Structure 1
Amino acid sequence: MDAVSGVTSTAAQTSTSSSSNSATAIASDFETFLTMLTTQLENQDPLDPVDSQDLAVQLATFSGVEQQTRTNALLEDLGGQMGLMNLSQLASWVGMDALASGELYFDGSPIEIRPEIPAVADTAELVVFRSDGTEVQRLAMDTSAETALWAGVGADGNPLPDGAYTLAVASTARGEELPLGQVSAYREVLEVKASGGGTQLVTEGGIEVDSSSVISLRQPL
């Protein structure tokens, strides 16, 4: 079973279970309502019977609640189906390189990056952070660079340890520090899965990227 079909099966089972539970709840509530209504009629005062209009209101109220519950169940089913459709559409992304910002995995091989350098910047540096937020490297950059390669080589000439890193751009304009800019990087998509109402792309190192944050896709070089 592949990653996408596994998620699809699970999502479908969850949607079916939700609909089944809603239907069971409606049936149970309807039986309870009929029991209460029958008891009310059996124990009413013959000299002061329940007004037929009151009965009509009660029936209409329950009918409205029942209809709303059914509508909610249908909407849940529809949402589940939409999620499955999204997964199916994104299945073709598996094996491709996705360009996105955020944490990435370094395994010793150079990574192509796209830094966001403000047009007004006089100087720019690539800042590298470990997953715990510790800064491990700063490299001077060309302020006009649209793309670059991050080799991941430390000051001692040796590659940084394999692991998760976050890249950012530190720049200045007329001696004033500018806010850190984001750095996007290409990473291979290994899996597509549904998570928290959205769709996540699983990349090397188990790092997840929200599909909505992907800037572009390309075939692996």
Structure 2
Amino acid sequence: MATVSNLSLIKQYDPTAKTAAATDPTSTKDMTQNFLKMLTAQLQNQDPMNPTDTASMTTQLAQLNMVDGINQMKSTMTSLLSQIQSSDFMNYSSSVGKYAMVAGKSMSFDGQTPINLGAQLANDVSSVLATITDANGNVVAQETLGAHSAGMVDFSWDGTDSNGQPVAAGKYNIALSALSTEGNTFTPDSYVASMVAAIGKDSNKNALLTLADGRAVAPTDIAQWIA
């Protein structure tokens, strides 16, 4: 006997038909809706002689609403942080071409432009000695800065050696030694200025300044701006 199939019972794909919105059982909104459905069902089916105590369930609902509020606050703060970072990035773009003083010991001398330097003194000193060496560690020049109060001491190297002769372009280093007013010797932190060549962002989308000498520094690393 032949079998007759009822093709009309087979569901046909309709691209215009609306699909049910996907739900996320872990989201606070869906959890709250499911919680209310369960609470309503429990109240409808409770024993009139032994009514359900809804205090704990109401407390849980309040906690869910609190979590939802915290999530919304987090989203708002993330958006605000993104706007602040974008604004900072645009502001720092105007620093391209300016000189930033940043902690360091290595200098890139182009053969003609004097290099602005700094010594961060933790104490009052009776003298500070700055020593310039080449890439091989040979002493090129020394300069005595004299007595200074605690703080940043600005000075510069004009690219000449101890005999006043110009040196070749290349990499040089600076070393500092200071004598405190109490007679103690210590090593101050040295700072080297370099022109800002470009502005970028780090992995956290914070502004990152690339200096002409190859260093990449955060804005918070800059001790001084030099015109």
Tell me if both proteins adopt one fold, taking TM over 0.5 as the criterion.
yes
Following TM superposition, by how much is the alpha carbon of 1:69 offset from its aligned partner in structure 2, in angstroms?
A: 0.9
| Structure that is richer in helix per residue | 1
For 2:119, the equivalent position in structure 1 comes to: 116
Assess, with a 3 A threshold, how the Cα gap between structure 1 residues 33 and 204 changes in structure 2: closer, same or farther: same
- 1:21 aligns with none
Identity of aligned residues (%): 12
Q: Cα gap change, 1:27/1:55 in structure 2, threshold over 3 Å: closer, same or farther?
A: same
Report the Cα distance in structure 2 between the residues aligned to 1:54 and 1:174, rounded to whole angstroms. Answer: 70
Amino acid at match of 1:30: K
- Partner in structure 2 of residue 28 of structure 1: 27
Q: Which residue of 2 aligns with 1:89?
A: 91
1:159-211 alpha-carbon deviations (Å, 9 max, x no partner): 4754xx65331234699662212333331111223335753311124311232
Contact 2:159 2:167 in 1 (8 A): no
Correspondent of 1:76 among 78, 81, 106: 78
Q: Secondary structure at the match of 1:95?
A: coil
Deviation string 1:36-75 (CA, Å, 9 cap, x unpaired) is 5545765797335542333322221111110011011111
Which amino acid is the alignment partner of residue 217 of structure 1?
A: I
Q: State the 1:104 CA deviation.
A: 4.8
Structure 1 residue aligned with 2:212: 204
Residue 87 of structure 1 aligns to a residue whose secondary structure is: helix
- Where relative contact order (Cα < 8 A, 6+ residues apart) is larger, the structure is 1
CA separation of 1:75 and 1:139: change in aligned 2, threshold 3 A: same
Q: CA separation of 1:112/1:36 partners in 2, compared to 1, >3 Å: closer, same or farther?
A: same
- Report deviation, 1:29: 3.2
The answer to whether residue 225 in structure 2 is matched with residue 216 in structure 1 is yes
Q: TM-score if structure 2 supplies the norm length?
A: 0.62
- Indicate whether 1:140 and 2:142 are aligned: yes
Among 52, 55, 58, the alignment partner of 1:53 is 55
Amino acid at match of 2:126: A
SS where residue 126 of structure 2 aligns?
Answer: coil
Extract unaligned runs of 5+ from structure 1.
1-23
Alignment deviations for residues 93-113 of structure 1 (CA, whole Å, 9 cap, x no partner)? 012222333255515435423
Query: 1:169 maps to what in 2?
Result: 176
Secondary structure of 2:73's match? Answer: helix
Q: Any unmatched runs of 5+ in structure 2?
A: 1-22, 147-152
Rg bigger for which structure?
Answer: 2
Counterpart check, 1:125 vs 2:130: yes
